[in-house]
């Protein structure tokens, strides 16, 4: 490499930002010049800005780069704006036509925009869009319960990162369960759905690359265990969540601890009093099941049956009847995906 190449490479290192192939979906023309790191560990241009984007182009880029692509960071903002607009349009069109193409698009764009929100949880634009979209998704499910199996199938097929998939899987399972039980009215179900969906926004304080491995250092453990508090900080006053919703979010991991400890022990380890209700339990249980049955880079995926064995440890003492209801509810899904 000659000296002026080195300057160019240094410049690229400063300005380039990794993106995913999905960020390029729904573009007709490439919104940016795309780079990858070649065998000589040098940034190399692979696709020019404004070149057509179609299936062939995406396959070519994936084949050449293994999906490890980069663009100039200032162009990322434009991509996010475009995908925000795409999500808005999809929500509008789904209200008129609930065909499978629109539903696939909804799952993809909802997930993509959730990633943008995790990257910038302070953005009111992203938060409001997620909120509006998740309300629309809730109404869509409520009015068309029969689309739930397709929704789940699509979420698993699309294989978004687990941290992005998990809130939607757990919240949809929660709503599917609530719809069967007739415990709550529509407003209460909507409120629990939103609470469950946004409970992990505090995870955005953990850099994305750290999700790849098991949490090892004390600092990482602290950041992780504090994510429910961070979620409350991000959501307080920004979304219409009442105090009991925020309490559910704040304590949504306490039940996870009940797998190894009992409530007395947990309470004695916490200086503040813990308010736990049945809603917190439901949100936590759906979160644990979604987590255990999701594909993660560092943990073996468990079956639904195995996850219920864990849930039994949490529920059997205080909620034996409700545990039976839960098992009966999940029984019909005891098939391998």
Contact window for Fe ion (CB under 5 A) among 14-22, 114-122, 198-206, 303-311: 198-206
| Closest distance to Fe ion from the beta carbon of 319 (Å) | 20
| Closest distance to Fe ion from the beta carbon of 253 (Å) | 6
| Closest distance to Fe ion from the beta carbon of 246 (Å) | 14
Q: Quick one: DSSP state of residue 52?
A: B
Quick one: which H or E segment has residue 46?
strand 43-47
| Closest distance to Fe ion from the beta carbon of 42 (Å) | 40
Give the nearer residue to Fe ion in terms of CB position, either 21 or 310: 310
Q: For residue 327, what are its two tokens?
A: 């098992």
Q: For residue 74, what are its two tokens?
A: 């200032």
Size of the site for Fe ion (CB under 5 A): 1
For residues 74 and 141, give the distance between their C-alpha atoms in angstroms, rounded to a whole number. 37
Contact window for Fe ion (CB under 5 A) among 8-16, 96-104, 116-124, 197-205: 197-205
Binding mask 158-187 for Fe ion (x = CB under 5 A): ------------------------------
For residues 261 and 301, give the distance between their C-alpha atoms in angstroms, rounded to a whole number. 23
| Closest distance to Fe ion from the beta carbon of 325 (Å) | 24
For residues 136 and 139, give the distance between their C-alpha atoms in angstroms, rounded to a whole number. 5
Give the nearer residue to Fe ion in terms of CB position, either 67 or 291: 291
Q: Which residues contact 14 (CB under 8 A, 6 or more apart)?
A: none
Are the C-beta atoms of 130 and 114 separated by less than 8 Å? yes
CA 25, 26, 30, 31 torsion-angle sign: negative
Q: Under the criterion CB under 5 A, does residue 285 sit at the interface with Fe ion?
A: no
Count of other CB atoms within 10 angstroms of residue 125: 14
Distance spanning both ends of the chain, measured CA to CA: 51
Sole binder of Fe ion in the list 200, 279, 285, 307 (CB under 5 A): 200
Give the nearer residue to Fe ion in terms of CB position, either 31 or 167: 167
Question: Which stretches of the chain bind Fe ion, using CB under 5 A?
Answer: 200
């Amino acid at each position: 490499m000659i000296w002026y190449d080195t300057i160019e490479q240094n410049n690229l290192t400063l300005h380039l930002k990794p993106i995913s192939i999905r960020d390029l979906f729904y573009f007709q023309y490439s919104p940016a010049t795309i780079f990858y790191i070649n065998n000589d560990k040098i940034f190399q241009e692979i696709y020019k800005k404004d070149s057509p984007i179609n299936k062939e182009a995406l396959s070519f880029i994936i084949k050449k780069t293994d999906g490890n692509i980069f663009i100039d960071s200032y162009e990322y903002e434009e991509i996010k704006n475009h995908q925000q607009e795409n999500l808005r349009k999809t929500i509008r069109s789904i209200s008129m036509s609930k065909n499978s193409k629109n539903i696939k698009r909804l799952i993809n764009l909802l997930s993509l925009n959730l990633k943008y929100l995790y990257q910038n949880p302070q953005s009111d634009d992203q938060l409001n869009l997620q909120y509006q979209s998740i309300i629309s998704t809730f109404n869509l499910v409520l009015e068309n319960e029969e689309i739930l199996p397709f929704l789940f199938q699509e979420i698993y097929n699309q294989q978004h990162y687990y941290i992005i998939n998990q809130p939607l899987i757990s919240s949809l399972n929660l709503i599917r369960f609530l719809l069967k039980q007739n415990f709550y009215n529509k407003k209460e179900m909507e409120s629990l759905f939103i609470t469950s969906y946004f409970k992990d926004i505090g995870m955005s304080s953990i850099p994305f690359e750290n999700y790849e491995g098991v949490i090892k250092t004390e600092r990482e453990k602290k950041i992780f265990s504090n994510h429910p508090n961070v979620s409350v900080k991000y959501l307080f006053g920004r979304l219409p969540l009442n105090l009991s919703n925020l309490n559910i979010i704040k304590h949504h991991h306490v039940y996870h601890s009940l797998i190894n400890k009992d409530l007395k022990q947990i309470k004695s380890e916490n200086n503040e009093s813990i308010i736990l209700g049945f809603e917190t339990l439901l949100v936590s249980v759906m979160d644990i099941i979604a987590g255990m049955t999701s594909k993660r880079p560092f943990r073996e995926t468990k079956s639904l049956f195995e996850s219920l064995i864990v849930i039994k440890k949490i529920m059997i003492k205080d909620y034996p009847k409700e545990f039976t209801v839960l098992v009966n509810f999940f029984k019909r899904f005891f098939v391998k995906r």
